[in-house]
Each structure stands twice: as C-alpha cells, then as structure tokens.
Amino acid sequence: MTERPKLTLERTFEATADEVWELWTTKDGIEAWMGPDGFSVVVQELDLRPGGDLVYAMSAIAPEQIEFMTKAGMPLVNEHRFTFIEIDRPRRLVYRDIADFIPGVEPYEVETVVELHPVEGGVRMVLTFDAMHDDRWTQLATMGRESELRKLEQLLAARS
C-alpha cells in the first residue's frame, strides 16, 4: 500500500501531561471521551504495553448517527482494536488500528501518534494520524477526531 498523508491536530489543555495521559490510557478515561459525538464507547480489553491491545465497542446512540450508520449500511455497534506500538509515559503514545468498517473497502491500517508537551499553564497535545483511503473518509475521520478532542477538552475543564 502506498504511504498516505498524515494529518495533525493540536490542542492546549489546562491540565498536566499525567492527567491527559490517564484519559488516553485507562478504561474510565477512554470511556469518558473517546468516540465522536453521538457514539458511546465501552472498553472490553486494555493491555497497555507495546504489542498490547485496546479493544472497545463503539455504539451509535444519537438519532442522527443511527440514521447515518443505517443509510451507509453499517452496523450500529462496531468493535475496534488498537495495537499499541510505542508507550512513553506521559509523553508519547503510538497505536495502529484497522479501518475494517467501511462498506466496499478492503481493511487497512491507520497509525495514530499522541504527543504531550508541557507548556506554561498546561500541556500541548499533538495528534498525528494517517489520512483515510479517500478525501470524503479523511474528512469524516478528521471531524470525528475534532469531536473527540472537544469532548476531551470539556472533560478536562470540568475536572479543574
């Protein structure tokens, strides 16, 4: 497969790197914010080590998302598996998952890198991920990531 472009999203949170790390790497943290708006996530397995997996079920729960998934011929509940590649607490997390939920498209890997950099008054998070197989799906993936980051930001703000 040819190398796909990388996309980068950045956010600065009024939090410590440890607080953000916890939300990316614990069952309670992941279930609290992961998944775009209108979806819920339930962690089924979490083995936080290189070669270990995060397995979770993501369910469409809002009417708009249920309608989208139904019209697209996609199940309302999808199981996802991330395999951790690199873990450098609390600075860097690298994982790969398989995009195997797109009707008519052969499954392929998507790599995500989360980097946390302490800054004055908080932490800057740099999220880098592979583009999807086409522009439409890349836009949908980016919108999903933006939605997740809004949820993460709200969660961190509510804690302080």
Angle, helix 135-159 to helix 17-25, in steps of 10 degrees: 120
- Calculate what percentage of the chain has a pLDDT beyond 90: 82
CATH superfamily of 6-159: START domain (3.30.530.20)
Q: What does the domain layout of the chain look like in residue ranges? A: 6-159
Please provide the distance, in angstroms rounded to a whole number, between the alpha carbons at the two ends of the chain: 44
Amino acid at position 82, single letter:
F
Structure tokens at 103: 């009707």
**What is the reported pLDDT for 73?**
86
Between 129 and 73, the higher pLDDT residue: 129
Average pLDDT value for residue range 21-41: 94
Q: What does residue 73 show for φ and ψ, rounded to 5 degrees?
A: 75, 25
Q: 88, 92, 149: which is closest to 117 by C-alpha? A: 92
SS3 19: helix
> Which residue reads 């939090």 in tokens?
15
pLDDT mean over 138-149: 93
Banded pLDDT at 100 (limits 50, 70, 90): confident
Nearest to 16 by CA among 93, 123, 90, 104: 123
CA 78 to mean position of chain CA atoms? 14
